[in-house]
Amino acid sequence: MPPAAPPRRDRRRAAARPPAQTAFGAAAMRVRWDRVGRIALLLLLAGVVALYVQPARSYVSTWRDSNAKQAELDRLEREHEALVRRAEALKTPRAIETEARRLGMVRPGERPYVVSGLPDD
């Protein structure tokens, strides 16, 4: 005679029971979806941060270059102002005569003198 089938209620409980434990235990068989979700969010956050690294470096580099270029512009503007003042000063008759005499020029009718034998400075 074949063995008697378990009552209906016992069959449902048997079907709902977890599978037999393995060498790793029952915990190894289950997936902890809450942990998987946290790990996935951390990986996503790390990816987003990695995407922002290069633009941030580029921004800092551009900012430094901008400061250097601004300093150079300020220096060139000061030099330009000095040259404009010098050009205005050279337009006076006294400055023109001084520069001409420095080049060795004399006025018409003047007698030029050359002094030689002086020690070099």
Instruction: Give residue-wise pLDDT tens across range 18-63.
Output: 555 555 655 556 888 888 999 999 999 999 999 999 999 999 999 9
pTM over 0.85: no
- How far is it, in rounded angstroms, from Cα 62 to Cα 66? 6
pLDDT at 7: 60
Cβ atoms of 15 and 8 closer than 8 Å = no
- How far is it, in rounded angstroms, from Cα 56 to Cα 90? 51
